[in-house]
A = this chain, B = another copy of it.
């Protein structure tokens, strides 16, 4: 059945156990369909040969891979780590395997990765954010691969989603900052192009300003890529604005960590000289000093629910409704009252 020194196949096991390949297959996939005595014989043959099923062949024959793909914008910081971890744990407990790849926030790469995951037989795909070429939806529909969007809730989007309201969360946080008496505020955002989460957070920021009688056009906003150094650089620029901001709201915790770092390097005390806030509440938020006031996102819950929903979609028992989760503000030392001038 197979040459010397090659991996053993189902056929090898079957021959050794004196049964047909069908029986071996059933023994492995649905043991109760095989009588005890036979099963034992087969299992010990499997053991003796060190047999491992060939995944490609399984996928091909069964037309299902029990594999879910996820494409996240970046693995370089921990923004998605906790949620993804929970996602994967839940998938695992349901018998699915997770394949992850990162798109570096590039729509071209994301498109490529989607094709790759589909080609690899992913039964379903998890995507981040709603914004992408509609052709992708057609492609996924044509290939019969369900997809779910996470980290961003929207009820009217082409793909079902699970997440929270980025705009409202940032609105609330901005209000909280203004409540501390800050009049001159600024924002360091992630790159908003192709990133609905970043854009919605900007909108929330501006809307809160408007609602509190500030002119949103007058508030400086710098877009920056999501790493600590860029956050630091953006802070440097922002802090020279006139009037100098007394509070800088950041699009996520990584940017905020960069801002704090730079502020400290410049001899500014946080929050006495300048308040800084983050978004996401990743571990980093508690490590920097002072610890970050930030928006807590229920990462693990989101991951678990995402797994639930996507599996339901794959198995054809999906209700079709998107799911919105709540966020809340965590106050830590990086936000203080505006200094009286």
Is A52 in contact with B118, judged by CB distance below 8 angstroms? Answer: yes
Is B50 in contact with A60, judged by CB distance below 8 angstroms? Answer: no
Which of B6, B54, B65, B100 touches A144 (beta carbons < 8 Å)? B6
Q: Name the distance in Å between A250's Cβ and chain B's nearest Cβ.
A: 14
A33 contacts B by Cβ under 8 Å: no
Which of B54, B81, B261 touches A119 (beta carbons < 8 Å)? B54
A139 contacts B by Cβ under 8 Å: yes
Which of B7, B65, B100, B286 touches A143 (beta carbons < 8 Å)? B7
A157-201 toward B: CB 8 Å interface, digit per residue (1/0)?
A: 000000000000000000000000000000000000000000000
Name which residue of chain B comes closest to A57, CB basis.
Answer: B60
Q: Which of A205-246 contact B (CB under 8 A)?
A: 227-228
A328 contacts B by Cβ under 8 Å: no
A121 contacts B by Cβ under 8 Å: yes
How many chain A residues touch B (CB < 8 A): the figure is 42
A76 contacts B by Cβ under 8 Å: yes
Is A55 in contact with B261, judged by CB distance below 8 angstroms? Answer: no
Instruction: Pull 21 A–B residue pairs with CB atoms less than 8 Å apart, ordered by A.
Output: A5-B144, A7-B142, A50-B142, A52-B118, A52-B119, A54-B60, A54-B119, A55-B119, A55-B120, A55-B121, A56-B60, A56-B120, A57-B60, A75-B85, A76-B78, A100-B100, A228-B287, A261-B289, A264-B289, A287-B288, A288-B289
A315 contacts B by Cβ under 8 Å: no
A320 contacts B by Cβ under 8 Å: no
Most buried by B among A56, A121, A228: A56
Q: Name the distance in Å between A151's Cβ and chain B's nearest Cβ.
A: 18
Name which residue of chain B comes closest to A139, CB basis.
Answer: B50
Bound: A109/B157 CA distance, A: 38
Is B143 in contact with A52, judged by CB distance below 8 angstroms? Answer: yes
Q: Name the distance in Å between A256's Cβ and chain B's nearest Cβ.
A: 11
